[in-house]
Amino acid sequence: MIIEYLRPDSIEEAIDLLNRQNPKSIPLGGGTSLSQMRSADATAVIDLQALGMREIEIINGFLEIGANVTLQQLHDYSQVPPAFQAAITREGNFNLRQMATVGGTVASAGGGSPFNALLQAGNAEIIWQPGLKPFSFEDFHQENQRNYLGFISGIRIPYTSSYALERISRTPLSESIICICGAVRRDGTSRIVITETSNPLASVLFEGRLNPGEPDSHFIASKWVGKNNFPDQYLEGILIELLDRVINELRKEG
Amino acid sequence: MATIQLMINEKTIQVECLPSDTLLDVLRRNGYFGVKSGGCNKGECGACAVLLDGKPVNSCCMLAMQAQGHSIETIEGMGDHPQKGWKESPGLNVIQQAFIQTGAIQCGYCTPAMILAIRSLLDENNDPTEEEVRKYLSGVLCRCTGYQKPVQAALLAASIIRGETEPGTNLAYSINVLPPYDHREGYPGNDIVSGDQLTRQKVMPKIQLPTEKPVYQQVGKPEPKVDAIKLAQGKPAFTADIEMRGMLHAKVLHSPYAHARIKSIRTNVAKSLPGVVAVLTWQDIPRVVYSTAGQSDPIPGPLDTFSLDNKVRFVGDRVVFVAAETDQIAEKALGLIDVEYEILPHILDPRDAMKPGAIKIHDEPELVPFADSDADQNLAAKIRIDIGNLDMGFSEADEIFEGDYEVSKVQQAHIEPHVVITYWDEDDRLVIRSSTQVPFHIRRVLAPVLNLPVKRIRVIKPRIGGGFGGKQEILMEDVAAHLTIATGRPVKYEYTRSDEFTSSRSRHPMRIHMKTGVKKDGTITANEMTVLSDTGAYGCHALTVTGNTGHKSMALYVGDGSYRKSPNIRFHADVVYTNTPPSGAFRGYGVPQGYWAVERHMETIANSLGMDPIEFRLKNTLRSGELHPFSTSWSEGREPRPETVHTVGLEDCVRKGMEQIGWGQKFGNPEWQAVPGKPWLRRGIGIATVMQGTAIPYLDMGGASIKMNDDGSFNLLIGATDLGTGSDTVLGQMAAEILGVPTEDIIVYSSDTDFTPFDKGAYASSTTYISGTAVCKAAELVAEKIRNRAASLLGGQASEILLREGSASLPDGRAVSFTDIALDSLHHNNQEQIMAVASYMSPVSPPPFAAQFAEVTVDTKTGELRVDRLLMAVDSGIIINPLTASGQIEGGMVQALGYSVCEEMTFDENGCIHQKDLDHYHIFRADEMPKMDVIFIETFEPSHPFGVKAVAEIPLDGVAPAVGNAVRNACGADISSIPITPEKIWGSLNRIKQ
């Protein structure tokens, strides 16, 4: 139950509020995950909207995105990679994307989120206040699970990387049966991940260089299916197909 | 509570709110009822959208306090009714006008949100593409329109804003008249509608007129809906849009178990929670057995339900009712109730229900069976229909084809959840204000349940935010009524979106076996359907829905030659109880299930025989002048009476549909089927032919009352229930046609058990036909009185007087206005109220017919399916209003599309549903729609004054099999169950490869 709403004017004030022990205080982005906050616990929400963090800039080959940039604003930004546009349209309907922020999505959407999966594949950095400390996706989620004594102020995406997203669904906008995201990073290595709704992060399917004949989609798919104890011929079959498509797309882009 | 300032519609207002209050809560509490609730609180449906700093956002998932410092716009700030007395009105906004003129408003529940979304778009860009319009509309779910007309409205508004179309222009769109199909020319297949034809040029459907059709003034015109102006303004027209002093909020504790006996319930802690006013268990209220099905007396099904029972039969069944001062307190109280259950074995698979030793789901001694229902066997209904001699038919066949088909359980998903408000009026009569399709049935059925005489109950149906059969159920009115009786206070009970999935009704899932005997020349000699239908935990609509499955789908194919006079048809069905949420009425009422099996089966037979699938169908389908085969054998448990089908426009539907979709160029054309540069993609085209019914003969009755006012306008009072379809409008148009006035001179008031005549309600596609005939009869009686009085004023023969344009005139030109007639009758001479009441019950149920086409693209490597185009050519008799009728077809096709490819309710091993929201239960959005076309093939049905037949349900019937047949055409995948998912297509393709 939300018992207190506060809208700090400065980063310092926000951090002070989030560091209070009682009531438990959590940062509020767009609010589109409010329904998840309707637990019986007394909670204060610290609305970050007065703190700016609304810029999108390309700096030194990185796309730097303020945490309060909405998903729709990022989608409409002229230089956002197309794979990100595709991912954003799967993050909720048009109205939700007007409110949902990049920071809020990173913090709360979890491993089923195509947007998060793409960031994770591209090795995006999450910028954390206090201290403008950069985290990898994996490190952030480990840190974030411990407490909320701060907030995301932005993310940084390697802009020169190549990105690809492939998914299968019943209708163009229904939830994915499988969604695979991949990126070729500046150092020439690639990471391919698969969204996993039940996990905080997407699962890494492949990490390394896209050499001729590598990676082997059949091997990756059978490994993933085996790991998930999910002997489903269909999932394995389309996983192979989508992996091939992502790899081909990354090779083409790369 | 804190006081905050919000800037709403350019005015700063102070409001009281808690930190946890959403913007939706606060806006509605302060009278902004144009902001609707879809019950989700997660932004799934968008009915609650407002503009925040000019952008559409969902007010259910943002805190009111977040909105401080921002500009909020609601529909209340958009425009006003053009006639507001002496005060000058700004009139409606151009977008509101466009929504009205294009027929973009059906139930109107999501209309304010859609209008605001388009406002946001056009403020940025007054020359948007259709794609941009769809993007802006995609935040708002609409279950009625299929989005076609809202898109057209947006493009029209943009055109007006750009100055290309004059504001206020009379947009009486020209009818797109099609020439009749020339049977001598064979398949033309050349007149393909251009793919880039602007949607806004297609506001009106294409219509092929019958050879002889009278000239009408109002009938056949695209009149705006009579309720459109208020809906475009978001007026408080819906059930929940009122506040009452002292109103309590109801909640129900639902069962977490699929099957259990309640051993004890401890409510003390809940009762002691401040703000809790009443807690009711099964021990607190009368134990009266009834059926929740909203049907005429006697209910054609078992009486197997209690308001509260000492047993629960599905996860989501009722356990305890709570009324509290606020919704939150009521919710909290539910968590304080301690229930001890004795968990019983449960049945989830209908195939297990009748096995020896299966647990008995209904063991209550009070159960009243109907016909062959047998609770000992978990059998809610048993249907055995045999027409002709099936064994002889099979023995005469050259080949016999058998197949098994399956249809899933799906949800109506109307955007307005179920909602009711009950209160005692000043005469201590119980008023039930409900979002229902069946107000008169509610009054009759609930009277004994509440221990009140019928005369002490009044049921009012305001506007409904969609029903689709889900509100042909007496689902929740008793909850609020019991709590009003217990507390003496008004009570509001509103479902959440989650409740809609766990504790509402759905389409009956069925397993269907087909067996068909065919001669080598394609003549069907015998046709058999055997159905196992799952009614869930209660038997509401069990017999009639499943009976309809056979009655409509198995009646279409009678065979050819001598078989036409004596077809051999068998329809056997067992409708069984399981421990799943009850099935019930859902638009189409069992018929879509039947056609999935029949039309997939016919396609298979035609393919196997090497026959053209269309010619095979037309060789065997019912023709004009033939008996409806089932009319000789079955009538929902009543005495069957033979019925001749007089108008069958099916062949013209097929031919015209083929012509318009370019069937001849596409079917069997490998060049068209290939997608250049993407060899893994394959296109396909498919067809299904279908028929429905129009009302229930010798049962459904509707009444109408018409009275003349001082100014020559008329009040039309009807019991008929407009659930967004536009029935109030078409009934008004028919009255206007006969009375010789514009439709705007007919003031329609409907669905109030105290003030309007009886009507069975909105179901069975009956309103335009049954209630419409009642309106025509009443209007004829009023017209006769007007002619008589005009004759006395003018001095001529009443029989020579023509009523037209609000006056009565003689052939010699002498005329008297209706105003003068009204003043004379009410004030001057031999005073009388010119009025009449009439009712109608039909001895026949003339079927509408249709050909439904689908084009698809299949990814043969992943099984992913995309439906590219739907076209429906339909014979619904004469079309009273092309806008509302085509809106019914478009919206119905999209509902059917969801049923075909994505919608599905599934359960875990404990009977808990997997899909509890509109994220996981996906319904189509505006920006993922296929191209859609509607063609009306008009026939004049002689049993109706204006020649109409039904239109509302038939679009549900053929989409799924047409898509299934198109998938087969595309890639050979033969799918026997819906939804047609990528997994199933991939699996089928793999089996073909092996």
Average pLDDT, integer, range B328-351: 97
pLDDT category, B213, cuts 50, 70, 90?
confident
CA–CA separation, B990 and B981 (whole Å): 14
Q: What is the DSSP string of B565-585?
A: TS--EEEEEEEEE-SS-----
Confirm if B321 and B334 have CB atoms less than 8 A apart. Answer: no
Confirm if A85 and A73 have CB atoms less than 8 A apart. Answer: no
Q: Measure in Å the smallest separation between the Cα of B949 and chain A Cα atoms.
A: 33
CA–CA separation, A52 and A48 (whole Å): 8
Confirm if B229 and B84 have CB atoms less than 8 A apart. Answer: no
Tens-place pLDDT, residues A70-89: 999 999 999 999 999 999 99
Which are the contacts of B845, defined by CB distance < 8 A and separation ≥ 6? B628, B643, B693, B694, B695, B696, B697
Of B61, B865, B866, the CB nearest to A32: B61
Average pLDDT, integer, range B352-356: 97
Average pLDDT, integer, range B535-563: 97
Which are the contacts of B459, defined by CB distance < 8 A and separation ≥ 6? B431, B432, B433, B434, B436, B439, B440, B442, B443, B477, B752, B753
Confirm if B407 and B594 have CB atoms less than 8 A apart. Answer: no
Q: Which residues of B touch A241 (CB under 8 A)?
A: 861-862
- pLDDT at B408 exceeding the cut of 90: yes
* Window 90-129 of A, Cβ < 8 Å to B: 92-96, 98-99
Q: Measure in Å the smallest separation between the Cα of A188 and chain B Cα atoms.
A: 29
Axis-axis angle for helices B959-971, B982-993 (nearest 10): 40
CA–CA separation, B458 and B868 (whole Å): 48
CA–CA separation, B457 and B432 (whole Å): 7
CA–CA separation, B766 and B770 (whole Å): 5
Tokens of B734: 């028919």
Looking at chain A, the whole-number percentage of residues with pLDDT higher than 70 is 93
State the count of interchain CB pairs (< 8 A) between A and B.
Answer: 132
Of B138, B865, B866, the CB nearest to A93: B138
The predicted structure's pLDDT at residue A36: 65
One-letter identity of residue B432: I
Nearest CA in chain A to B45: A93
Contact at CB, A237 and B864, closer than 8 angstroms: no
To 5 degrees, how large is the angle CA B744–CA B749–CA B753? Answer: 170
Contact at CB, B57 and A93, closer than 8 angstroms: no
Average pLDDT, integer, range A58-63: 92
Nearest CA in chain B to A90: B919
The predicted structure's pLDDT at residue B198: 46
Tens-place pLDDT, residues B819-863: 999 999 999 999 999 999 999 999 999 999 999 999 999 999 999
- pLDDT at B615 exceeding the cut of 90: yes
The predicted structure's pLDDT at residue A201: 93
Average pLDDT, integer, range B176-184: 55
SS3 state of residue B470: coil
Q: What is the mean pLDDT of chain B?
A: 95
Contact at CB, B982 and A168, closer than 8 angstroms: yes
Q: What is the DSSP string of B80-95?
A: --S--TTS------HH
pTM of structure: 0.96
SS3 state of residue B915: coil
In 3D space, the residue among B710, B747, B835, B714 whose CA is nearest the CA of residue B785 turns out to be B835
Tens-place pLDDT, residues A23-55: 989 999 998 887 666 666 788 999 999 999 999
Backbone angles phi, psi at B130, to 5 degrees: -60, -35
Nearest CA in chain A to B134: A94
Question: How far does Cα B316 stand from its chain's mean position?
Answer: 24
The predicted structure's pLDDT at residue B170: 52
Contact at CB, B65 and A170, closer than 8 angstroms: no
Q: What is the DSSP string of B497-509?
A: HHHHHHSS--PPP
Of A4, A31, A72, the CB nearest to B61: A31
Rg over alpha carbons for chain A, rounded to the nearest Å, is: 19
Give the CA count within 13 Å in the CB-facing half-sphere of B351.
3
Of A2, A7, A93, the CB nearest to B139: A93
Q: Measure in Å the smallest separation between the Cα of B22 and chain A Cα atoms.
A: 9
Q: Which residues of B touch A108 (CB under 8 A)?
A: none
- pLDDT at B183 exceeding the cut of 50: no
Lowest mean pLDDT across A111-125, A206-220, B554-568, B816-830: A206-220
In 3D space, the residue among B802, B856, B811 whose CA is nearest the CA of residue B967 turns out to be B856
Nearest CA in chain A to B859: A168
Given CB atoms, is A229 within the 8 Å cutoff of chain B? no
Q: Which residues of B touch A237 (CB under 8 A)?
A: 986, 990
Given CB atoms, is A177 within the 8 Å cutoff of chain B? yes
The predicted structure's pLDDT at residue A229: 65
Looking at chain B, the whole-number percentage of residues with pLDDT higher than 70 is 96
Strand partners, B644: B627
The predicted structure's pLDDT at residue B210: 85
Q: Is the dihedral of CA B350, B351, B355, B359 positive or negative?
A: negative
pLDDT category, B188, cuts 50, 70, 90?
very low
Contact at CB, A170 and B43, closer than 8 angstroms: no
Given CB atoms, is A138 within the 8 Å cutoff of chain B? no
Q: What is the mean pLDDT of chain A?
A: 90
Tens-place pLDDT, residues B79-112: 999 999 999 999 999 999 999 999 999 999 999 9
The predicted structure's pLDDT at residue B199: 52
- pLDDT at B724 exceeding the cut of 60: yes
Tens-place pLDDT, residues B112-139: 999 999 999 999 999 999 999 999 999 9
Tens-place pLDDT, residues A132-150: 999 998 888 876 655 668 9
Which are the contacts of B851, defined by CB distance < 8 A and separation ≥ 6? B650, B653, B654, B656, B657, B658, B687, B688, B689, B690, B872, B873, B874, B958
Nearest CA in chain B to A36: B42
The predicted structure's pLDDT at residue B646: 95
Q: Measure in Å the smallest separation between the Cα of B140 and chain A Cα atoms.
A: 8
Tens-place pLDDT, residues B481-492: 999 999 999 999
Question: How far does Cα B380 stand from its chain's mean position?
Answer: 25
Rounded to the nearest 10 degrees, how much is the dihedral formed by the CA atoms of B201, B202, B204, B205? 150
Q: Which residues of B touch A32 (CB under 8 A)?
A: 42-43, 58, 61-62
In 3D space, the residue among B467, B484, B477 whose CA is nearest the CA of residue B444 turns out to be B477
Tens-place pLDDT, residues B922-951: 999 999 999 999 999 999 999 999 999 999
Contact at CB, A3 and B20, closer than 8 angstroms: yes
Q: Which residues of B touch A198 (CB under 8 A)?
A: none
Q: Measure in Å the smallest separation between the Cα of B448 and chain A Cα atoms.
A: 40
Contact at CB, B62 and A32, closer than 8 angstroms: yes
In 3D space, the residue among B768, B764, B785, B763 whose CA is nearest the CA of residue B718 turns out to be B768
Q: Which residues of B touch A96 (CB under 8 A)?
A: 43, 58, 61, 139
Average pLDDT, integer, range B787-795: 97
Write down the ipTM of this complex. Answer: 0.96
The predicted structure's pLDDT at residue A138: 87
Parallel/antiparallel/unpaired status of strands B248-254 and B491-494: parallel
Tens-place pLDDT, residues B35-58: 999 998 899 999 999 999 999 999
Residue A56 belongs to what H/E stretch?
Answer: strand A56-59
Q: Which of B918, B983, B984, B991 to mutate to test the interface with A (most CBs of A within 10 A)?
A: B983
- pLDDT at B496 exceeding the cut of 80: yes
Q: Where are the alpha helices (H) located in B30-168, listed in sequence order? A: 94-101, 111-124, 130-137, 148-161
CA–CA separation, A19 and A12 (whole Å): 11
CA–CA separation, B101 and B153 (whole Å): 8
Confirm if B379 and B574 have CB atoms less than 8 A apart. Answer: yes
To 5 degrees, how large is the angle CA B655–CA B201–CA B216? Answer: 70
Q: Is the dihedral of CA B497, B503, B504, B507 positive or negative?
A: positive
- pLDDT at B816 exceeding the cut of 70: yes
Q: Measure in Å the smallest separation between the Cα of A132 and chain B Cα atoms.
A: 25
Q: Which residues of A touch B919 (CB under 8 A)?
A: 175
Contact at CB, A171 and B135, closer than 8 angstroms: no
The predicted structure's pLDDT at residue A251: 87
Q: Could you count the other beta carbons within 10 Å of the beta carbon of residue B166? A: 10
Q: Which of A70, A94, A244, A248 to mutate to test the interface with B (most CBs of B within 10 A)?
A: A94
Confirm if B259 and B579 have CB atoms less than 8 A apart. Answer: yes
Tens-place pLDDT, residues B869-882: 999 999 999 999 99
Q: Which residues of B touch A38 (CB under 8 A)?
A: 20, 41
SS3 state of residue B642: coil
Given CB atoms, is A1 within the 8 Å cutoff of chain B? yes
Average pLDDT, integer, range B280-306: 97
Confirm if B922 and A177 have CB atoms less than 8 A apart. Answer: no
Which are the contacts of A22, defined by CB distance < 8 A and separation ≥ 6? none
Contact at CB, A238 and B986, closer than 8 angstroms: yes
Given CB atoms, is A32 within the 8 Å cutoff of chain B? yes
Q: Measure in Å the smallest separation between the Cα of B92 and chain A Cα atoms.
A: 24
CA–CA separation, B126 and B128 (whole Å): 6
Q: Is the peptide bond before A23 cis (omega within 30 degrees of 0)?
A: yes
Q: Measure in Å the smallest separation between the Cα of B615 and chain A Cα atoms.
A: 32
Backbone angles phi, psi at A177, to 5 degrees: -80, -45
In 3D space, the residue among B601, B506, B592, B513 whose CA is nearest the CA of residue B549 turns out to be B592
The predicted structure's pLDDT at residue A176: 94
Confirm if B107 and B88 have CB atoms less than 8 A apart. Answer: no
Given CB atoms, is A36 within the 8 Å cutoff of chain B? no
The predicted structure's pLDDT at residue B175: 54
Parallel/antiparallel/unpaired status of strands B849-859 and B865-875: antiparallel
Tokens of B568: 């051999």
Q: Measure in Å the smallest separation between the Cα of A187 and chain B Cα atoms.
A: 32
Nearest CA in chain A to B903: A170
Q: Which residues of A touch B922 (CB under 8 A)?
A: 170-171, 173-175
pLDDT category, B186, cuts 50, 70, 90?
very low
Q: Which residues of A touch B924 (CB under 8 A)?
A: 171
One-letter identity of residue A188: G
- pLDDT at B790 exceeding the cut of 80: yes
Backbone angles phi, psi at B129, to 5 degrees: -80, 165
Q: Which of B5, B18, B66 to mutate to test the interface with A (most CBs of A within 10 A)?
A: B66
Nearest CA in chain B to A233: B987
Q: Measure in Å the smallest separation between the Cα of B130 and chain A Cα atoms.
A: 16
Q: Which residues of A touch B983 (CB under 8 A)?
A: 177, 234
CA–CA separation, B277 and B742 (whole Å): 52
Tokens of B495: 């479902």
